[in-house]
């Protein structure tokens, strides 16, 4: 899937309007700290960074120091594999 997210929460990694390519996550256990994922946190969808991993849960946050919370693998929809203008 390709889309152009808007906003500044990932500034420095993804600029507003850049073309992002996300692929389905085949193995959530392969997701690491620093990966950028498409996820759902408290009902909202985000393209955010994995900040921590513990016991099958993933802490999701932006690139500006914000933390959105912990989610399970069910809330991860895709892994960012490319960013282009």
Q: What is the pLDDT of residues 26-69, one digit of tens each?
A: 999 999 999 999 998 888 888 999 999 999 999 999 999 999 99
If you ran DSSP here, which 8-state letter would residue 57 be given?
E
Residues 6+ apart with CB under 8 A from 50: 31, 32, 33, 34, 35, 36, 37, 58, 59, 60
Domains of the chain: 2-84 (2.10.109.10)
Identify the pLDDT of residue 43: 83
């Amino acid at each position: 899937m390709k889309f152009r997210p808007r906003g500044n929460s990932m500034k420095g990694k993804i600029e507003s309007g850049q073309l992002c390519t996300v692929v389905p996550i085949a193995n959530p256990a392969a997701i690491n700290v620093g990966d950028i994922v498409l996820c759902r946190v408290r009902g909202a969808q985000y393209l955010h960074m994995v900040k921590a991993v513990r016991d099958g849960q993933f802490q999701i946050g932006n690139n500006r120091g914000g933390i959105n919370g912990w989610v399970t693998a069910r809330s991860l929809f895709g892994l960012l594999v490319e960013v282009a203008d």
